Structure 1
Amino acid sequence: MIKNRRTLFLLFAGLALLLLVQSCQEKTEETARPNIIFIMSDDHAYQAISAYSDKLIRTPNIDRIAHEGMLFTNASVTNSICAPSRATILTGKHAHIHGKVDNNFPFDTTNVTFPQLLHQSGYQTAMFGKLHFGNNPKGFDEFMILPGQGDYYNPEFITNKGDTTIEGYFTDIITDLTIDWLDNRKKDDRPFLLMYLHKAPHREWIPAERHYREFTKMTFPEPETLFDDYSGRGTAAKEAEMNLLKHMTISADNKIYPELADKLGIKEPSDWGKNVFYQKYKRLNEEQKKSWDEVYQPLNDEFEKLYPTMNDTAFMRWKYQRYMQDYLGCIASVDENVGRLLDYLKKTGQDKNTIVVYTSDQGFYLGEHGWFDKRFIYNESFKTPLLVKWPGTIAPGSVSDEMVQNLDFAQTFLEAAGITPPDDMQGESLIPLLEGNENLWTRDVVYYHYYEYPGFHMVKRHYGIVTKNYKLAHFYYNIDEWELYDRKNDPMEMTNVYNDPAYADVVKEMKEKLTEIRAKYKDTKESDQKYIDKYRERGLIKE
């Protein structure tokens, strides 16, 4: 009897020990999976991050991510417009596959997103900030997002627990929400995905009070191509409606009170600018309005004296300075708040096993070629900032010039978490590059396709490919024009060399690559026509 009891005891003890060891192993494996913090701003030009160039602004906190990790100098988007870019990031698919080809087309909700897969595999998930499409993001334990474009001041939020309004400045608020989640609701025994999504510096570029008081006094260097006449390009560049002088509103964008604009006889491109100015100003509480008027009323008074003396050149230069003062003022708050988050992670020790990504949903024109906005395959629009740190994996201070895209984020995060990506994802994991194994990276060309025409800013439909050396674009639908740029010898993309005999062999090779890559990504003439027909169905094309 005693012998049987002893045997039974040893059996149970051994089983308990086995379960304990297995539990510890599972917990160790779970803990080893990295946390992921995805920081994305809206329309943040790479030219306005000092890790790329300190000509316009210093961004020491965003730069920290590059100093502690990797800076990508050839990162790009697949479609330079907000909602399609975000859908591509979430799904790892091109726009013609996920269906969100512009800001108005619906997102195909049958698409599986990487947050869903991380959540299913045990990750805690949270999203704070600006998603810009859909009000119920899948795969998140908690979210607080703006409805549509949302507001800089006193923003409304959609949450999975009901809608709410929070008083204050949006960039500060979402950082408070993000740190509060990390501090109070994140569970320490599970890895997490945190999406921290800024509205800034999206149009209409409304800075925090502490920054507009400072930045409205500054003067910024003009880009070399501010007065580009597009003589070296085709029809698309000449007909786009994003010129600072002609298309930037004096009220919503440059903060001139509509009453003064009317008094001076300034004609706006439409009533949009006046209506938006009133809408945003009315959102301010009395204290915020008082602070606003203390700064912008004297600016208006000065403009009233200057405007009658201005020719088009002087007016263009004035508009550029006003644009930069507010745009860069918005970025100053983003940089401060990224610093707050990085400091919190370091203080709590959560930085050690955490991937931190900083990017934008696309690039943006800061007066280059006389433009604001994005949409084109040209560099300032097509290229996007990308900075990644991952302690113990990425060597600090690394730089990569490989051709990477926002299409690649989903696979990268899934591989980092040990999850096999779905077969229909179209990107490539960046892990080999992050680990310093550039020899394992085989992509030398990326694909781009823009659809929204006719539409806001009237940038014509086009698709194309980009390598480190060349860029080939085909503008189609109501024109049939090809453009080729030599990226090494013409970095500002001033001269289309498609018809230059010296580039005949390059054109032939690039067209072959374009045919191959369109087949690879299943983008066809039939697909092009499909989305033209959908524009007709919606009454956007009238012929």
Structure 2
Amino acid sequence: MRLPYLLVLALIVAACTNAVHAVDGPRKPNFVYVFTDDQRWDALGAVQREQGEKGRFPWLKTPNLDRIAAEGIRFRNAFVVNSLCAPSRASLVTGQYGHVNGVTNNHTTHPAGNISVATLLRPAGYVSGYFGKWHHGNQSGKRPGFDTSASFVGQGVYFDCPIEVDGVKTSSKGFVDDVTTEYATNFIKANKDKPFLMILGLKTCHGPFTPPPRNEKDYDGAMARSVPNYGIPAIYAKVGPNGPKGKATDAKEVSTNLGMFRGINSVDDNVGKLLKILDELKLTDDTVFIFSSDNGYYLGEHNLGDKRTAYEESMRIPMLVRYPRGVKAGRIEDRMVLNVDPAATFLDLAGQPASAAMHGRSWKPLLEEKLTDWRDSFFYCYFYEKTSGSPMTTAVRTADAKLIKYPGHDEWTEVFDLKADPYETRNLAADPAAADLRRKLEAEYDKQAKAIDFKIPTFADQPAPAGTEAPKKKAGKKGAK
């Protein structure tokens, strides 16, 4: 049978195209990493639906974020290694803990000589861009390691925020996350024909929790469900663990920070814009899209309203990953992942070696559903800050237990059986019945500290000498950084 001329021509073109692809290999994946500021792990519509009666915010709706989860993987045990803005950003870019990458607080600039996932991807042909919040004190200029950046200085402001475009101060109008999302979108459009790394740090939902006008009335009158640890003071609180119960209440519902959740609605809007442009440019299948947060946040749990320390609400974060070409849709993954992992993951997926100095691990075997020897614990450290009232906090977190230490305060040591006590209300540190658990956790703490060669570096803030008072901000202030 003779084939029509046009069909023959089409087959020839397809064959030539396939031959070219066979020589060049499949397109390297693009990487899009979007992360918010202070968004808790459970501040997702998908999580609230999963939690049912235990969900604190059953009214929360995040359709675009839920789309990522439905079309990819939702990691249910994702954590930061230091629950603080700038250190978390440094860990993302370097794949390292703060005692190695030089960033242990919010007022330290990001060292220009640090390893960077952006520079390590460059030999594979990647172009990189950083957009939005960088923090690192008042560091100015193009963001280290990236080919281009459009970012604001410090905390910036929610409206009409000056943006530094490759270090050049540029005025802007409107809601800052809308502005930086537009810069990120334009970067994707300009680089659609080459592999790219795009990181977007949104200011939302950091204090003062100001949403754009389109969301300022969302959830009016909504209340949060209470939880067993609501209002019960942390062990390091001046009131003492056995003192007054702060905001503890028998009420089933309590007021909450609606500004935070209104802001999350604006986040969902902007994530939707990015998903749409990837669809329009036919880049969806070839793009690894990750959504996360720089840290968690207390909303009355342990009578706190900030982050920093090592209870679950602070150290646990949302982590959604979509990669249609390489990841089965609708998956739930319970193995532990950390915010030091994305750098190694991107490099692995791009076919580039990770730096031996990185502490993170590639998620490639998890994405591919391969059985692998994976972590079942990790080391956590929040360093003392001269501008904060939170104590230095170290911890080891395993799959079902946690040991928290406060250097200089052995009397505050905490041990929790997370399987039996997920709200961390019963400290077992001095319980004879839990002595074996504590011994195991102490051994794991030492093992994980050694694995990262942990030490308190000289560049970290140091506590004031005994008998003097360092300037402090009251822990738990809503505007805390």
**TM-score under structure 2 normalisation?**
0.85
Cα 1:205–1:50 change in 2 (3 A) is same
Cα 1:139–1:203 change in 2 (3 A) is same
Superposed CA deviations along residues 8-56 of structure 1, whole A, max 9, x for unmatched, are: xxxxxxxxxxxx99x9469833x52100000111111122111221442
Q: Which amino acid aligns with 2:27?
A: A
- Equivalent pairs counted in the alignment come to 441
Q: Which amino acid aligns with 1:156?
A: P
Cα 1:106–1:171 change in 2 (3 A) is closer
Cα 1:146–1:244 change in 2 (3 A) is farther
Q: Distance in 2 between matches of 1:198 and 1:380?
A: 20
Q: Distance in 2 between matches of 1:406 and 1:236?
A: 28
Q: Distance in 1 between matches of 2:314 and 2:33?
A: 21
Cα 1:490–1:478 change in 2 (3 A) is closer
2:379 equivalent in structure 1: 447
Q: Distance in 1 between matches of 2:258 and 2:438?
A: 41
Q: Distance in 2 between matches of 1:92 and 1:79?
A: 13
The SS at the match of 1:370 is coil
The SS at the match of 1:213 is coil
2:173 equivalent to 1:167: yes
Cα 1:131–1:25 change in 2 (3 A) is same
Superposed CA deviations along residues 311-348 of structure 1, whole A, max 9, x for unmatched, are: x989x999x73x52211111111011111211221222
Question: CA contact under 8 A between 2:231 and 2:246: conserved in structure 1?
Answer: no
Q: Which amino acid aligns with 1:492?
A: Y
Q: Distance in 1 between matches of 2:245 and 2:184?
A: 35
2:369 equivalent to 1:436: yes
2:224 equivalent in structure 1: 221
Aligned positions of 1:390-539 closer than 5 A: 390-437=323-370, 439-456=371-388, 458-477=389-408, 480-524=411-455, 527=456, 531=460, 533=462
Counterpart selection for 2:302 from 369, 372, 387: 369
Q: Which amino acid aligns with 2:187?
A: W
Q: Which amino acid aligns with 2:293?
A: S
Q: Which amino acid aligns with 1:452?
A: Y
Q: Distance in 2 between matches of 1:486 and 1:203?
A: 32
Q: Distance in 2 between matches of 1:340 and 1:120?
A: 30
Q: Distance in 1 between matches of 2:360 and 2:151?
A: 26
Question: CA contact under 8 A between 1:119 and 1:140: conserved in structure 2?
Answer: no
Q: Distance in 1 between matches of 2:402 and 2:343?
A: 25
Q: Which amino acid aligns with 2:414?
A: E
Q: Distance in 2 between matches of 1:182 and 1:442?
A: 33
How far did 1:213 drift? 2.9
1:386 equivalent in structure 2: 319
Give aligned-pair identity as a percent. Answer: 30
Structure 2 stretches of 5 or more lacking a match?
1-15, 50-54, 472-481
The SS at the match of 2:280 is helix
Cα 1:479–1:85 change in 2 (3 A) is same
Cα 1:540–1:450 change in 2 (3 A) is farther
2:213 equivalent in structure 1: 209
1:234 equivalent in structure 2: 235
Question: CA contact under 8 A between 1:212 and 1:325: conserved in structure 2?
Answer: no
Q: Distance in 2 between matches of 1:378 and 1:515?
A: 20
How far did 1:76 drift? 0.2
2:132 equivalent in structure 1: 129
Q: Distance in 2 between matches of 1:153 and 1:144?
A: 16
Q: Distance in 2 between matches of 1:196 and 1:63?
A: 19
1:28 equivalent in structure 2: 24
Aligned positions of 1:168-317 closer than 5 A: 168-183=174-189, 185-188=190-193, 190-215=194-219, 217-225=220-228, 227-230=230-233, 234-236=235-237, 238=239
Question: CA contact under 8 A between 1:37 and 1:357: conserved in structure 2?
Answer: yes
Q: Distance in 1 between matches of 2:177 and 2:144?
A: 23
Q: Which moved more, 1:111-120 or 1:476-485?
A: 476-485
Cα 1:202–1:244 change in 2 (3 A) is farther
Question: CA contact under 8 A between 2:384 and 2:463: conserved in structure 1?
Answer: no
1:250 equivalent in structure 2: none
Q: Distance in 2 between matches of 1:528 and 1:196?
A: 29
Q: Which amino acid aligns with 1:235?
A: Y
2:104 equivalent to 1:101: yes
2:95 equivalent in structure 1: 92
Cα 1:224–1:349 change in 2 (3 A) is same
Aligned positions of 1:36-51 closer than 5 A: 36-51=31-46
The SS at the match of 1:509 is helix
Q: Which has the larger radius of gyration?
A: 1
The SS at the match of 2:265 is helix
Cα 1:62–1:535 change in 2 (3 A) is farther
Question: CA contact under 8 A between 2:384 and 2:461: conserved in structure 1?
Answer: no
Cα 1:317–1:51 change in 2 (3 A) is closer
Q: Distance in 1 between matches of 2:262 and 2:125?
A: 39
Q: Distance in 1 between matches of 2:116 and 2:261?
A: 32
Structure 1 stretches of 5 or more lacking a match?
1-19, 247-311
Question: CA contact under 8 A between 1:432 and 1:441: conserved in structure 2?
Answer: no
2:266 equivalent to 1:333: yes
The SS at the match of 2:302 is helix
Question: CA contact under 8 A between 1:32 and 1:353: conserved in structure 2?
Answer: yes
Q: Which amino acid aligns with 1:191?
A: P
Question: CA contact under 8 A between 2:232 and 2:245: conserved in structure 1?
Answer: no
How far did 1:541 drift? 4.5
Counterpart selection for 1:155 from 161, 164, 169: 161
Q: Distance in 2 between matches of 1:237 and 1:33?
A: 54
Q: Distance in 1 between matches of 2:94 and 2:453?
A: 16
2:474 equivalent in structure 1: none
**TM-score under structure 1 normalisation?**
0.75
2:113 equivalent to 1:118: no
Q: Which amino acid aligns with 1:520?
A: A
The SS at the match of 1:110 is coil
Q: Distance in 1 between matches of 2:246 and 2:237?
A: 18
How far did 1:352 drift? 0.9
How far did 1:175 drift? 2.0
Cα 1:535–1:451 change in 2 (3 A) is farther
How far did 1:99 drift? 1.4
Q: Please report the RMSD computed on the Cα atoms of aligned residues, expressed in angstroms.
A: 3.0
Question: CA contact under 8 A between 1:45 and 1:366: conserved in structure 2?
Answer: no
